[in-house]
A = this chain, B = another copy of it.
């Protein structure tokens, strides 16, 4: 890993430097990034923050803010302004918010890290026998003699209920509006992202303590622009150039004495096992620690009680590159993220994807399927990974464990597409695309422009960075069949039923399910709509779809053979 980590590191260290360059080049396009949208009106540096547009510089900025923040559990009754006054004795509070999880909690960001030192200096350990590990997780103690004032405003960091979602979507005027709305109500808020970075930072104080240059970084949903409120927090322990420069030297020199591991994997397992023990025994707010050393990618799983987040910690660095890639794709066209939110929501509610591991299609696989689909529109909405690689500059070079993970990080280098399809079209075409895809012969590979034949029997979705890996190796024939059948059903519904447009009139939204809602499983919208008027297919969906297809001229890029594997 040494050399590869070095390269990865080099990129990272240069990120702030590159930031300047990116700003200069970025004249064509400005993306309103989920990760950088700062809603706080008191924030004056908004525009500056929005411009910090490379994935890594954004991460770095969030990480730095988290290091200036503390997490404080508050009692049922306290006075917000007095609380702030107490905090302000240690320095300027830049921003803060409250959320509820068992108790009211406050995330407080100071302007300076010195304030944290001052605050910690004045903070005391509780009485009784405790493990005196002092972290930035604290409790506010409010004596009864101090009268409380009004209730504080709470940020909701939990996802809306399915019922609320259906109601909201039904009030919209088009499928495009529905998909946009779905993303708006589910995507991570500024506050939820701040809290996630803070949990990483708190974990870093504990887990990274032996490796001073190390950093805990969120990856996956938290940073790829596709995270939903309440989703797990995936974290990476980035050893951060610890191995840098271990080249051969011909002159007398010193080398650290260290414990050796039998392999890279054994090293990762060892580090994670010690971290697991430390978290379990010392870590304030961390609980339910479970070490899973024998997984393909060894992880430590635990919950962070104060934030209510389920967390996974790993040392694998591919995760970070995958996150960056998804983030980049999400930024390239404003239709990508709403479509991804919709397909992922749809698949989850139909049981195509599940929270527990098994033979199902994963969110990552499904995301690659959507990206692959968007690469195959005419004109293409997204470039292939090979095209992104061709655009990469020297600083984008990245090799992890002998796999070339290089792709461009500068958005301004990527020219815009001139595809004008609506979200509605894309959603319905997505179903048709996979209803008719030649899963038997072709792989789904976001790197290549040309169709790729697949090397094995299973559904084959090539890992973007580890070429030999099939990310959907786990998916069995039954699960693939379920997915294809559902795509067929949705394509059939949208083509034959009158459900794509809302009824006119002021009470339209409560008449019957329509648009995206009509493509969700019945149990979700039944409580909302008293009577269901939509005609349900009574015969075999596959047969119906086949009949339909014969009457429709399809733009069959991927060939004609469909669903041959299915019963």
B-contacting residues of A (Cβ < 8 Å)? 1-2, 72-73, 78, 82-83, 86, 119, 122-135, 137-143, 145-146, 206, 209-212, 239, 242-243, 245-247, 249-264, 266-267, 270-271, 273-274, 277-278, 281-285, 306
Contact = CB atoms under 8 A, between A and B. Distances in A.
Contact of A274 (B246, B249, B259, B282): B282
A134 B260 contact: no
Given A119-B254, A122-B254, A259-B281, A267 B141 contact: no
A261 B129 contact: yes
Contacts of A210: 133, 206, 209, 278, 282
Contacts of A251: 143, 146
B264 A129 contact: yes
A258 to B, nearest CB: 4
11 contacts: A86-B254, A129-B266, A131-B261, A133-B210, A137-B257, A145-B250, A209-B210, A257-B284, A258-B284, A273-B281, A278-B278
A243 B129 CA distance: 10
Given A133-B258, A146-B252, 5 more contacts: A125-B246, A134-B242, A146-B251, A209-B209, A256-B284
Given A251-B146, A252-B83, A274-B277, A257 B132 contact: no
Contact of A282 (B134, B146, B250, B259): B259
Contacts of A72: 254
Nearest to A248: B127
Contact of A255 (B83, B141, B243): B141
**Which of A1, A253, A277, A278 has its CB near the most chain B CB atoms (within 10 A)?**
A253
Secondary structure at the A interface, as helix, strand, loop or mixed, is: loop
Contact of A138 (B122, B131, B255, B277): B255
A256 B139 CA distance: 6
Contacts of A140: 252-254
Nearest to A239: B132
Contacts of A128: 260
Given A141-B249, A243-B125, A284 B259 contact: yes
A263 B206 CA distance: 23
Contacts of A212: 134
A258 B209 contact: no
Nearest to A127: B246
Given A138-B254, A142-B252, A251-B143, A259 B131 contact: yes
A177 B284 CA distance: 60
Kindly list the 7 A-B residue pairs having the minimum CB-CB distance in the complex, ordered from nearest.
A132-B242, A130-B258, A129-B261, A123-B254, A257-B284, A129-B267, A131-B259
Contacts of A266: 129
A471 to B, nearest CB: 26
Contacts of A257: 73, 135, 137-139, 284-285, 306
B143 A255 contact: no
A371 B266 CA distance: 54
Contacts of A133: 210-211, 258-259
A206 B129 CA distance: 23
Given A125-B242, A282-B274, A134 B252 contact: no
Contact of A134 (B206, B256, B278, B284): B256
A250 B129 contact: no
A271 B281 CA distance: 8
Contacts of A122: 253-254
Nearest to A209: B209
Contacts of A258: 125-126, 130-134, 284
A553 to B, nearest CB: 58
Contacts of A146: 251-252
Contacts of A263: 129
A252 to B, nearest CB: 5
A109 to B, nearest CB: 16
A124 B257 CA distance: 9
A258 B261 CA distance: 33
Contacts of A127: 2, 246
Contacts of A247: 124
B273 A259 contact: no
A96 to B, nearest CB: 14
Contacts of A253: 86, 122-124, 140-141
Contacts of A256: 123-126, 132, 134-135, 137-139, 284
**Which of A2, A132, A245, A273 has its CB near the most chain B CB atoms (within 10 A)?**
A132
Contact of A132 (B86, B123, B124, B211): B211
A130 B260 contact: yes
A264 B127 CA distance: 11
A252 B125 contact: no
A267 B130 contact: yes
Contacts of A273: 277, 281
Contacts of A145: 250
**Which of A1, A255, A277 has its CB near the most chain B CB atoms (within 10 A)?**
A255
A258 B274 CA distance: 19
A130 B255 contact: no
A85 to B, nearest CB: 9
Contacts of A245: 124
A282 B128 CA distance: 31
Given A251-B146, A278-B274, A261 B130 contact: yes
